[in-house]
Each structure stands twice: as structure tokens, then as C-alpha cells.
Amino acid sequence: MEAAKEHTISHYLPILDDLSIKRTIPREGGSHYVSHLYSSICISFQPNIIIDAKLGYLWHFKLNLAAVTRIIMDKCSLIDFLLLRPNSKDITLEVLQHMILQKTSNLIEIGNVFDHLNIVYKKHLNNHIMNTSPLSNDYMIVAESLQCKVVIEQLDVYKHVFVKLVDKLENTKDDKKFAVSILVEYIRSLTDNKITIEHFLYELLINCLVINKMYFQLHQMVQYHIVIDSKPLACLLLSLESLYSPAHQMALDMLHRLNTAHEEIVEVLLSKNQVISSMRYMSKHNMLDHSTYRKLTEVAISTNNSKILHSTKEEFLQRNVTSNDEFDTNSRG
């Protein structure tokens, strides 16, 4: 049933065309009697009991969810219907799989389905839909008025849909950019519903962009914070430097914006033998002390650059962190 609100009254309308439920009952003499289970002589009891008062039969109904997926053509209505049924998680994910992997739906319809799933997901996370939600009231009818039995979380969609989508596209000649479009649409839906996005979705998106050599789009998504800053993603960007050289600076910028990754930034700079830049950064953040002395001097010595070695020496001498003799001993070693 589908709810339509009018003032304070909820009207429930059938989501399927008029379908008669009939049961053929054998009678004496070889004839049969057809019981129309929605007739006036039948009494129904929630959730799934119907009694034929005339014949004295009691029917117990069990819903065939697989058959329902072939009857309800509107995917949003189908998803809403399935989410209200217990033990429907697998069939719901199968519907989503078929829509995306078989490309039976366009991006707009897929996005609408994501919205319906994530409205319920958000309610599951917060136990209520925020009144300030930008989504329309039409989308919120099911989530507000009825208690959903199933929640499709990010990990479910990742494991059962997105991973299979990427695997399928890698083994075919299909347009691999399709996976990027679907991932971006799902992230858009999560963002609209104010749901924190798990890093594995961003990681998959970045990998898809790299596979398709969509480096400009990757740069734009990081620059305009479509991909949210985090240490795991910064590390992923660092690993992509051999494929896309600006990824190194993108990773450093991301770590800097986090403002909680000072040690990681120093390690990245030192890995490039950027001793002077490392010292300046450490000085700015009050990180220069005895514990960092040996690390910086060892890297300075390994550069075989006398200017870098001298600058490192002077910086520590001015701070009285070490002595000339100690530094000279290290330099000779």
C-alpha cells in the first residue's frame, strides 16, 4: 500500500493494478468452487490471514518478493515496498544490482532510488528525519509514516553493487566511465541526506578515475572537496604519484588542510629529501627538538649537499639543540 497524506488523514492506495486472489477448492462430484479471497464474505486479519466465512477455510499468505519485483515497474515504489518487508535485504540489493549492472535504468532513476534508500538509512542513523532536510515531502512519506524493516547501508552497496560493477567493466569493453557516474551519484545522495561518507567509497571512486585516466576530474574533485579530506585518501594520492605527478602535492595540501597530520607531512617532505622545507614546517609548528635532530641531520647528510647540511646545522645551533662537536661527529659518520 502507498500512503498519500491529506492534512492529518492518510489515504492508502494499492500500488498494484487490481488483482484478484482466487483459490480453487475441490467439491464433491469432481467440481470445484472458486473462493474470491477479497470478497465481502472473507474476513482479513493483519498481517496475512484471510478467513472464508462461508466455506470455513483459513488462508495464510506468504509474499513472493521475487514475483513482486517483476510486477512493480516503478523502481522507487518497488524499493519502498521492499524496505517495508522483513528479510528483503538480499532481493533489494538484487534489484539495485540489476538496475546498474544491466543498465536497465537511467542515471536519474538510479539517483532517485539512491535517495529513497538513503532517506531510510538516515532515519536508521538518527532515528528521525531532520525537519530541515532539503528533500521533498513526497520522498519522505514512507520513511515518516511507516516503519521500514530493512536498511541498505554504504557497505552493502559497496560490496554487492559497486565492486561487482567495477569488476564487470574491467572484464568488458563497456564504457568504464559509467562506474564513475554511478559512484558520484551515490555520493551526491549521501551528501544530500547529510550522511558521513565512508572512505572506501572515495577510494573506489579515485581508483576508477585513475583507471580511466580521468586525472583532471580527480584534481577537480579533490580541489572542490567532492572528495572529503582524510589521511587514508592522502596516502592513496601519494601512491598515485608515478601515474599522475600532481598527486603528490594534492596529498600534501590535503594533509595540511586536516591540520592534524604534522608528522605525516614531515615524513612526506623528508622522503623527497626536502630537508629545508621540513625544518621550516617543523619550526612553524614547534616540532624541532632533540628527538627530531638525528632524523633531520641523517637526511641532510644523505643529500651530499653542503648547503643543506650547513643550514641544518645552523638551525639547530641557534636553538641550542645540539653542539658543534656532536654535529661534526654525525657529519663525518
DSSP string, 34-96: EEETTSTTEEEETTTEEEETTTTEEEE----HHHHHHH---HHHHHHHHHTSTT-HHHHHHHH
Read off the pLDDT band of 19 (50, 70, 90).
low
> Which one is predicted more confidently, 205 or 53?
205
C-alpha 290/C-alpha 292 separation (Å) is 5
Read off the pLDDT band of 174 (50, 70, 90).
low
Radius of gyration of the chain (CA): 31
CB 68 within 8 A of CB 81: yes
Distance of CA 178 to the CA centre of its chain: 16
In this prediction, residue 145 carries a pLDDT of: 46
Q: Whole-angstrom distance between the N-terminal and C-terminal Cα of the chain?
A: 81
In this prediction, residue 6 carries a pLDDT of: 57
Give backbone dihedrals phi and psi of 9, rounded to 5 degrees, phi first. -105, 135
CB 224 within 8 A of CB 190: no
- 313: cell is 646545522
Read off the pLDDT band of 42 (50, 70, 90).
confident
Name the amino acid, one letter, at 49: I
In this prediction, residue 49 carries a pLDDT of: 87
> Which one is predicted more confidently, 259 or 159?
159
C-alpha 27/C-alpha 213 separation (Å) is 72
> Which one is predicted more confidently, 75 or 32?
75
Identify the weakest region by mean pLDDT among 81-85, 269-273, 294-298.
294-298
Summarize the confidence of residues 308-331 as an average pLDDT.
60
- Residue 301: CB atoms within 10 A of its CB come to 17
In this prediction, residue 30 carries a pLDDT of: 63
Read off the pLDDT band of 12 (50, 70, 90).
low
In this prediction, residue 110 carries a pLDDT of: 96
- The pLDDT mean for the chain works out to 80
Q: Is the pLDDT of residue 64 over 90?
A: no
Distance of CA 288 to the CA centre of its chain: 40
Read off the pLDDT band of 14 (50, 70, 90).
low
User: Which residue is it, cell 470445484?
Assistant: 32
Cα 180 to Cα 112, 177, 185, 237: the distances in Å are 17, 5, 9, 17
Q: What is the value of pTM for the model shown?
A: 0.74
Q: Is the pLDDT of residue 81 over 80?
A: yes
- Residue 166: CB atoms within 10 A of its CB come to 18
In this prediction, residue 323 carries a pLDDT of: 42
User: Which residue is it, cell 601519494?
Assistant: 238
Query: DSSP character for 246?
Result: T
- Angle ∠(156,118,210) on CA atoms, nearest 5: 60
In this prediction, residue 83 carries a pLDDT of: 93
C-alpha 95/C-alpha 73 separation (Å) is 11
Q: Is the pLDDT of residue 255 over 60?
A: yes
In this prediction, residue 265 carries a pLDDT of: 86
In this prediction, residue 329 carries a pLDDT of: 43
Distance of CA 277 to the CA centre of its chain: 37
CB within 8 A of 316, min separation 6: which ones?
A: 288, 293, 296, 297, 322, 327
In this prediction, residue 182 carries a pLDDT of: 95
Q: What percent of the chain has pLDDT over 70?
A: 77
User: Which residue is it, cell 594533509?
Assistant: 255
In this prediction, residue 142 carries a pLDDT of: 44
CB 50 within 8 A of CB 20: no
H or E element: which one contains 226? none
